[in-house]
Amino acid sequence: MQTDLRGRDSIAPELEWTRDEIETLLDVAWDLKRKRAVGEPHAYLRDKVLGLLFFFTSTRTRASFEAGMAQLGGHAMFIDSETTQISHGDTAKEIGEIIGRYTDGIAIRQCDWNFGNRYIREVAAASRVPVMNMQDEVFHPFQILADLMTIQERFGRDLRGKTINVSYAYASSYQKPLSVPQSLILMMTRFGMNVRLTRPPEFDLMPEIMDQSRENAKKSGGSFEVLDDFDAGFEGADIVYPKSWGCWMTTEDKNESSVIGKKYTDWITDDRRMALANEQCVYMHCLPADRNIEVTDSVIDGPQSVVYDEAENRLHVQKAAMALTMR
Ligand code: CP
């Protein structure tokens, strides 16, 4: 167990934290989940303030960080990029310097392609307090930590030999970031799982993330394979995580990506596909999902779905990160 994470940034823990540090965060998350369940106070961050800076909309991330900070005895300060001087030119360095002097931690969601992760790192470089990544275009660490916690709740802490299918699914709403599938393949290959990435050829992920995932699988004794057949991805899987993402590696053009996406409208998770997986298989999705486009109601509302546990576990892993890094 690593007991000194004070001051650590969590921008890409799936890549940058040791396995021991990740296990420590999960231990604390389970303890905090238990404390909340039995009503045991845990105001570890009394009088502390967390700045929450959003460049994009959010339901779960905002609500869980705000609730978590209140439960830890502190305050979460919501900052919207559109209604502050950030929209008139406050730079990343200025935000790091200034908000860092008002607060004890800064959390940021900035998903612009080729910009978000760099922006968060620039804020961190200028900030005297730890910075947390609430999603950028490359990583979504707290979603994936919550997913890991959810998987371990279902299958135990030793995940070696379990098969997870991280799959593209069609959605009509917008060109979503690559961050969820990328953080998933990075994290799950570190835990000795058999990780499948199933996607149409236009929906590749970043090559450096793919290379790192292969390397992780080699080191952990797991495996990493890439498929392009939607049905095949379900076969024999213990966990399926089919969700939409954009074809960013093929085109950044919205219209072109929409035309490409329309070739794959049949990539929808339904009961027939779920029946191809193992009997105990769980269905996962970070939400929001495009219902009856990405996944049928019968699957997402069905007995194999753990989507609400994933959403709940956002609260516990984020509280653990705050308690460990913002003391
Ligand atoms: N899963 C997730 O990050 O949800 P929000 O976009 O609502 O925060």
Nearest-CA residue for ligand 1 atom 6 is: 58
Q: Read off the amino acid at residue 314.
A: R
Angle at 313 between CA 16 and CA 309, to 5 degrees: 130
pLDDT interval class at 163 (50, 70, 90)? very high
Which numbered atom of ligand 1 lies nearest the CA of 140? Answer: 3
d(CA 234, CA 272): 10
Six token digits for residue 110: 């900035």
Dump pLDDT digits (tens) for 20-42: 999 999 999 999 999 999 999 99
The predicted pLDDT at position 104 comes to 98
The predicted pLDDT at position 172 comes to 86
d(CA 37, CA 320): 15
Which numbered atom of ligand 1 lies nearest the CA of 109? Answer: 8
CA of 31 to the centre of ligand 1 (A): 24
pLDDT interval class at 221 (50, 70, 90)? very high
Strands 163-168 and 131-136, how do they pair? Answer: unpaired
The predicted pLDDT at position 307 comes to 99
Residue keyed to tokens 């990075």: 186
The predicted pLDDT at position 155 comes to 98
Kindly tell me the burial class for residue 19, based on how many C-beta atoms sit within 10 Å of its own C-beta (0-12, 13-18, 19 or more): exposed
Dump pLDDT digits (tens) for 150-161: 999 999 999 999
pTM tops 0.95, yes or no: yes
Checking if the pLDDT of 1 tops 90, the result is no
Give residue ranges with CB within 6 A of ligand 1: 58-61, 135, 143, 286-287
Closest CA to 134 of 70, 169, 183: 183
Q: What is the mean pLDDT of the chain?
A: 97
Burial 178-207 (b: 16+ CB within 10 A, else e): bbbbbbbbbbbbbbbbbbbbbbbebbbbee
Nearest-CA residue for ligand 1 atom 1 is: 286
Our mutation pick for probing the ligand 1 site, out of 78, 111, 132, 135, counting the most ligand atoms within 8 A of Cβ, is 135
Dump pLDDT digits (tens) for 238-260: 999 999 999 999 999 999 999 99
The 3-state DSSP class for residue 50 equals strand
Nearest-CA residue for ligand 1 atom 3 is: 61
Dump pLDDT digits (tens) for 94-139: 999 999 999 999 999 999 999 999 999 999 999 999 999 999 999 9
Angle at 127 between CA 126 and CA 129, to 5 degrees: 160
The predicted pLDDT at position 3 comes to 83
d(CA 190, CA 39): 34
Query: At a CB cut-off of 8 Å and minimum separation 6, what does 313 contact?
Result: 29, 33, 145, 146, 147, 149, 150, 153
Residue keyed to tokens 């978590």: 68
CA of 135 to the centre of ligand 1 (A): 9
Residue 159 in contact with residue 189, Cβ under 8 Å? no
The predicted pLDDT at position 160 comes to 98
CA of 123 to the centre of ligand 1 (A): 22
The predicted pLDDT at position 216 comes to 98
The region that residue 236 occupies, defined by phi over 0 for left and psi between -120 and 50 for alpha, beta otherwise, is: left
